[in-house]
Amino acid sequence: MRVLRELVRRPSALFGLIVVVLVLLAAIFAPWIAHFSPDDQLADGLSLEGAPLPPGSGHLFGTDTLGRDLFARVLFGARTSLIIGLVANGVAVAIGLLVGLLAGYLRGAVGNLLMRFTDLMMAFPALLLAIALAALLKPSLWIVAMVIALVNWVQVARIVYTETRGLVERDFIVAERSLGAGNGRIILLHILPHLMPTAIVWGTLGIATTVLLEATLSFLGIGVQPPQPSWGNIIFESQSYFQDAPWLVFIPGAIILATALSFNLIGDALRDILDPTQRGRL
C-alpha cells in the first residue's frame, strides 16, 4: 500500500499506471468494448475503390486493408501482447531468480558452471537468438512467449547473482547458519525476501522489453501469426501501405510505445521506492 501511494505521488509513474490500467481493461473487456469482431472482413469496411477507411468514419481507428475494424483488432491485440508480456516475463524472472540464486548461494563448481552459461547467453544478441529459435519452431502464442523467456532471463540472473553473493556474506546469514539452519530454510526465509524488490523491479521493467520484443518478432513475421491479432503483426500486415494508410502503422505503433514506456516508468519509480540506494542509477 505504501508503495502504491508513493507511486501515485510521482507524475510519471502515475501516467504509467493509468496507461497500464487502461490497456489491461481494454484487454479484459475487449469483446464488450468492440462493436465489430476483429476477424470480420466488413462489407462496408473498404471504400468503393477498395482502400481502407481512415479513422473516424464509423470506425474509431479506421479499417485495415482487408476491411477489418482496426479498433477491434487493437483491442484483441492487447490481449496477445499482454499475455505474452506477463507470461514470458514471468517465466524469465523465475528462471533468472533460480539461476542467479543457486549460482550465488552454492558457488563452487555448480555456481561457476551456471554463471559461465549465463555469460554465454549474454554473448548472443537477444533478437537474433529469438529469431533463430522462432524460425526453428513453428511460431504460436505460447512458443513466442517461451522464446522470449529463454532470451530474457539472463539479465535478471546476473543481478540476482550479484545480490545473493553480497547477502551470503552478511552477518545475519552467517548467524543463521551457525544456529544450524539448513540451506532450504536460509534461502526461502532469509535470502528470497531480500531479493523481492529486485524481482518486482525487473518484473516490471522486463514487461516493457518483452512487449517490444514480441512486437518486433511479429513485425518480422515470426511472432504471433495472423489472423490472430497482435500489435506487431497488425503493423506487419499493413507495412507496405504505410504511405496511403499511415494510421494502420502509427496507431498500433503509438500504443506499443505508450505501453512499453508506461512499464518502464513504473519500474523505474519502483526501483527508487524499493531501493533508495539505487536512486538515480540506471
Partner 1 sequence: MAFFLARRLVQAVLILLGVAAITFLLLYFLPADPAVLIAGRSATPQMVAAIRHELGLDQPLVMQFVHYVGNLLHGDLGRSYTQKTEVLPLILARLPATLILMAAGIVVEVALGLTFGIIAAVRRGGFVDRSVMMLSFVGVSSPQFVVALLLLYVFAATLGWFPMSGFGSARHVVLPALTLGVLGAGWYARMVRSAMIEVLRQDYVRTAHAKGLSGRRVVLGHALPNALLPIIAMVGIDIGQFMSGVVVVEAVYGWPGIGQLAWQAIQQVDVPIIMGVTLVSALAIVLGNLLADFVAPFVDPRIRS
- Residues within the interface to partner 1 (CB under 8 A): 12, 116-117, 119-120, 122-129, 131-133, 135-138, 208, 212, 215-216, 219-222, 232, 235, 239, 242-243, 246, 249-250, 253-254, 256-257, 260-261, 264-265, 268, 280-282
Residue 191 or 209 with smaller CB distance to partner 1: 209
Residue 58 or 246 with smaller CB distance to partner 1: 246
Residue 224 or 265 with smaller CB distance to partner 1: 265
Residue 191 or 251 with smaller CB distance to partner 1: 251
Q: Can you tell me which residue has the cell 517461451? A: 146
| SS3 category, 120 | helix
Residue 44 or 119 with smaller CB distance to partner 1: 119
Residue 126 or 167 with smaller CB distance to partner 1: 126
Q: How far is the CB of 147 from partner 1 (least distance, A)?
A: 12
Which of 126, 159, 262 has its CA nearest to residue 207? 262
Q: How far is the CB of 235 from partner 1 (least distance, A)?
A: 7
d(CA 64, CA 54): 9
DSSP 8-state class, residue 35: S
Number of helices (H) and strands (E) in the chain: give both, helices first.
12, 0
Q: How far is the CB of 116 from partner 1 (least distance, A)?
A: 8
Q: How does 74-113 read in b/e, with b if 16+ C-beta sit within 10 Å?
A: bbbbbbbbbbbbbbbbbbbbebbbebbbbbbbbbeeebee
How many CB atoms within 10 Å of residue 267? 22
Residue 2 or 281 with smaller CB distance to partner 1: 281
One-letter amino acid at 75 equals L
Q: How far is the CB of 204 from partner 1 (least distance, A)?
A: 13
**Phi-psi region for residue 235, left (φ > 0), alpha (ψ -120 to 50) or beta?**
alpha
Q: How far is the CB of 249 from partner 1 (least distance, A)?
A: 5
Do the Cβ atoms of 259 and 20 come closer than 8 Å? yes
